[in-house]
Amino acid sequence: MAQGVWTIAEEREGEIRKVTYEIVSEGRRLADAAGQELTVVLLGSNIKDKAAELGHYGADKVLVADDAKLAPYTTDAYVSVITELVKANDPAILLISASVQGKDLSARLSGSLDVGMAQDCTAFAIEDGNLVATRPIYAGKAYANVTFENSWPQMATARPKLMDISEPDTSRSAEIVDATFSLDESVLKTKVVEVLKDESGKIDLTEADKIVSGGRGMKGPENYNILEELADLIGATVGASRSAVDAGWRPHSDQVGQTGKVVSPNLYVACGISGAIQHLAGMSTSKVIVAINKDEDAPIFQKADYGVVADLFDVVPALTEEVKKYL
């Protein structure tokens, strides 16, 4: 019978990414609830020295797949190795981050393992020993509770930034095991030929702690500087609504909403955004929502924790000055 909770670590250039600690922490909670062990699979090249730290976050065991062909991430290589390891070890639960990489990996694993997969979940529970996952559908206009049937492992991905990271406990240690796998060159059909870094140093919207977003009320691309100033000051990333992106004011990568990015920052400041369903769907899992809009009937106010009914061109610069008092 399938046993154990598994999570897949995510690394980039030899460093463990934050989303890994989120799913390892959540994996620990699920393993405790199910009375099972937590295994973290760490794949990469010369990565083994990163394994011990995963124990501090709750891993009982770290299975290390170290191979030059496993860095940087490619779907082909990861899927080949993880499929082999899962089939050999038969875990009951497989938890992955719903990062860009995790979404790619989990979707393909669904095919290679012939299992169901609950993508981008916001909460998990164990009931009768099995995984129950909660996930937004229609970009959060409804939520689904899902379970699995004849589908082992029970596979799910966790939306970034929603799973609390446990305090690392340095007295905990994990058993570190070298994984045995065959990774045949012939399965590698794709190759990363270039990595174009975003030199702006801007934190991606999906990973940002704070977001200051502007919509049609910004009136034009030249006015986003007032949002940039506030954002720089409080350590936020600037986002945009679909109408601002479709008008060509901001790049596609800035779009928050159903056909853009789904974000969950601690603070989301919506400036001049009326709050079309399309947009609300993309930011409703934010912890604190602020809306600044001169139209008091704008639907965004129904989602906002703090609403400011006023002209954003007056409020935003004033807010930038006011927050300086608290920094």
* Interaction residues for other proteins, span 36-75 (CB under 8 A): 72, 74-75
**Residue that has been written with the tokens 């860095």 in this structure:** 71
- Pattern of binders to other proteins over 248-287, x per CB under 8 A? ---xxx-x--xxx-----xx--------xxx--x--x--x
**Contact window for other proteins (CB under 8 A) among 20-28, 139-147, 163-171, 221-229:** 139-147
Of 148, 176, 243, 264, which lies in the binding site for other proteins, with binding defined by CB under 8 A? 148
Q: Is 231 in the site for other proteins (CB under 8 A)?
A: no
Of 291, 309, 315, 298, nearest to 226 by C-alpha is 315
Residue 68 vs 196, nearer CB to other proteins: 196
Helical segments of 57-126, H only = 75-89, 100-113
Q: Is 138 in the site for other proteins (CB under 8 A)?
A: yes
Q: Is 244 in the site for other proteins (CB under 8 A)?
A: no
258: tokens are 């159903």
Of 210, 211, 293, 298, which lies in the binding site for other proteins, with binding defined by CB under 8 A? 210
Q: How far is CA 141 from the centre of its chain?
A: 19
Buried b (16+ CB within 10 A) or exposed e, 244-258: bbeeebbeeebbbbb
Of 128, 195, 222, 297, which lies in the binding site for other proteins, with binding defined by CB under 8 A? 195
Q: Is 218 in the site for other proteins (CB under 8 A)?
A: no
Residues 6+ apart with CB under 8 A from 167: none
Q: Cα–Cα distance between 23 and 9 in angstroms, integer?
A: 8
Residues 84-123 that bind other proteins (CB under 8 A): 99-101, 103-104, 107-108, 110-112, 114-120
C-beta of 39: minimal distance to other proteins in Å? 22
Alpha carbon distances (Å) from 37 to 41, 106, 173, 175: 13, 21, 13, 11
Residue 114 vs 169, nearer CB to other proteins: 114
Instruction: Residue 69: count other Cβ atoms within 10 Å of its Cβ.
Output: 17
Q: Is 196 in the site for other proteins (CB under 8 A)?
A: yes
Residues binding other proteins: number (CB under 8 A): 96
* Bridge partner residues of 308 (DSSP): 292
Residue 83 vs 173, nearer CB to other proteins: 83
